[in-house]
Amino acid sequence: MFGKNAWRMAVVAWGVLVAGAAAQPWKVPEEKLHRGPDPVAQVELAAAQDPTFEAVAKYYPMLAAPREALGVLESAREFVVTRYGEIELNNLQRDDGQPGEAYPNASPENKASLYFLLGKKGQQTRYGHGNPPDSKRLMDGYLPIVSVPFTFEGVQYQQTIFAWSQDMDPDGRLWAYVGLEIKNPTTANAHVDLAQQAVCGRAPRYVPLGSWEYDLAPGDQRRLCLRLPRDGILPDSEIDKDSPEFQKGGRRAKLPFAGGFAGVEPVEPAEFDRRREETAQAWRERIRRAMTIRVPEQRINDAYRAWLGYLFTNVDKEGERYFPHDGSGFYELVWGIAAIQSCRAFDQYGYPEEAGKYLDSICTLVRPDGELKTAFGLSDSGTLLMAIEDHYRYTGDKAWLARTAETIVRVCGWSIARRAKEREGQTPGSPTWGLIKYQPSGDYPEPDFSFLSDTAVCVGLEAAARCLQIVDRKPDAERIAAEAAEYRRDIEAAMRQAVLEREGQRLLPILPASRGWLEKAGYGSTGYYSLFASMILDNEFFAAADPHATLLIEALEQRGGLCAGQCTFFNWIDHGFTYGYWLEMLKRGQPRKAILGLYGALAYGMSRSTYSGVECTDIRTGNNQLTLPHLRSGTQQLRLLRMMLVREEGDRLILAQAAPQHWLKPQQRVEVVQAPTAFGPVSYTLESAADQGRITARLTPPVRNPPQEIRLFVRHPEGKPIQRVRAAGKPLDTFDAGSVTLRGVREPVVLEFGYETR
């Protein structure tokens, strides 16, 4: 999410008028306001079958400027690969070492790109220019090792880039390895003129780095391998190579591009191959620990593992603490809500150790008075309390929860005290009685009342009370639970008073006092209204079919808040903020809307071949911000896919609710292995013989804390209803047209679903 220096840069890029935006809404041109239903949903959801990637991807252009970040696991420094394969360096090291503070060196003067040039001097072409946006690939389809093909004057080139440090140490000196394979596939001799150059700073300055010439007979091949140190881009005279800072990465170096590049050096192909394999193996081992998803769609199998890689790349080890940052080379701040949600995703995918370590680090940002102040807003503290409860539910680690109890109490104490202060001078029953006036988000530092903030804090207090009960802090638990119950009543009363009507439709403003985001969108639901309405749903404040949740959903669906199943930000789509809407659709038994969201995100919210998620894409043109790989986007993509396949709802476990129908075409298989849940790990497979009238499921249920029931969905490829279900050869009657409900299952079970074959 935007904020501070990053926000100012984004404003320029978007060309919006922001004067006075913190205090009141700016005017948005009419042509940027969306009014009606999602045009893609109108077509795709009316079709007989579920949306597919191919169907959804045909409506608009793919995003135009893919960008991948490459680093060692949890390193605070990264290299960036731009659209055409350039290596980009943004020096955003902090001078004070405090997470969440602005980076004083964040300016165009501290940016440089390194790239190859082809052709004779004066007639040179930049490597990769003209490549389509989906030309890059990741090693094995998902590892953060990027290859970029290019053909120039009949000669074929393949550039491979990865990041490496000795022993893959996040504190070690980081190197970019760049390999270039050159092949002459023609029947004629070919001469290659090759150079490498850097462009530095705003001016810009061009720095030659090397040149090579090759004569290739038909079929001949050559390899050029180089490496570039992340901290060796100052002139040698300005680097104290014996200093601890240099040995640990040179974080306190001067402005990096005041001089030229230093340290670009050739390496032998054998060394390049060794380092590449070391890098690949380190990432394979980390990603292999995740729950396994295997479906008959390779892009899904690759994408979720790539998303995990980007999430870990966006985690920065800072001393002995680990902070998820919203981006690499752009949002180098701790956006509280995004960082915390990523911890929830890590828990859901099988990384309890990392999730606990990252949550512990975020807890160190809680001030002595209990305020959690990061780059977002008040909802950060409530989200932290939710994530702490989630971590306990997934791990059962009561000792960890007990160690965290003091932080829980402090965070709750600050919220309770702030609510009490807000009520001073107010009249009970007033429109904002019991709400907290605070910064609504990183983009809006001016305090305001926000239902996003209050619902998050309230749900967080409820989670905190349950946690404290578990660790035998009953008086604290009861006191906080009572405060949360009163808070909930106040929020619900404020919502009832806040509802208004425009053009025959009832609307719930998110900023009840100012109505700012609704007014900015001309009382449509695009812009910040779209993003934050979905975020409220993500808080899960509302009970099933709550009328206020329905108002938010109807506004999103009918007044321009969605396109291709994703939240809109005027002419942009922003899938990273849509998860709450998708989750609510699953709760309401509308899985096709979540499926549309998954494919819409894959088609327009990320690079189509490297799966790097972006914050904003112009849906009409494909032009995108350079905010990728974006932490929130990767987090919400992962959470959506997981909830489509494995979801808890109270004491129930729901499986395969939104597994698309085409995944169960005849002879296809869906497999989920060791998926963490609040009940323990679960595994299942679905094997289709739909052409023979049956689909077989194999289920290994969770046993640590068994759910009251398991509901397993089987979405027939032609939409046929289930006619019969047998378990271990015995008939079951606890099924409906699309699912079976199981109770008391403690052992692995095989289920056979029967269908009419006519």
Please give the pLDDT value at position 111: 72
**Low-confidence winner among 9-13, 23-27, 444-448, 604-608 (lowest mean pLDDT):** 9-13
Give the Å distances, CA to CA, from 267 to 71, 164, 180, 262, 279: 19, 14, 12, 15, 16
Query: Distance between CA 356 and CA 359 in Å, rounded?
Result: 5
Please give the pLDDT value at position 231: 66
Burial (CB < 10 A; 0-12, 13-18, 19+), residue 732, is: middle
Please give the pLDDT value at position 758: 73
Please give the pLDDT value at position 694: 97
29 pLDDT band, cuts 50/70/90, is low
Give the Å distances, CA to CA, from 94 to 70, 98, 269, 402: 20, 7, 35, 33
Query: Distance between CA 384 and CA 293 in Å, rounded?
Result: 28
353 pLDDT band, cuts 50/70/90, is very high
Please give the pLDDT value at position 91: 53
Please give the pLDDT value at position 375: 82
What value does the mean pLDDT of the chain take?
Answer: 89
Mean pLDDT of 271-283: 98
Q: What is the pTM of this model?
A: 0.91
Please give the pLDDT value at position 33: 64
Per this entry, what is the length of the chain?
758
CB 340 within 8 A of CB 356: no
C-alpha 233 chain-centroid distance: 31
Encode pLDDT of 46-100 as tens digits: 999 999 999 999 999 999 999 999 999 999 989 999 999 999 886 544 333 344 3
Please give the pLDDT value at position 26: 41
Encode pLDDT of 555-569 as tens digits: 999 999 999 999 999
34 pLDDT band, cuts 50/70/90, is low
**Low-confidence winner among 27-41, 114-128, 298-312, 558-572 (lowest mean pLDDT):** 27-41
CB 159 within 8 A of CB 127: yes
Encode pLDDT of 424-442 as tens digits: 988 999 999 999 999 988 8
Encode pLDDT of 176-216 as tens digits: 999 999 999 999 999 999 999 988 776 677 888 899 999 99
Q: Which of 611, 553, 613 shows the shortest CA–CA distance to 580?
A: 553
Determine what percent of the chain is predicted with pLDDT higher than 90: 79
H helix or E strand, kind and range, residue 468: helix 451-470
Please give the pLDDT value at position 206: 85
For residues 272 and 235, which has the higher predicted lDDT (pLDDT)?
272
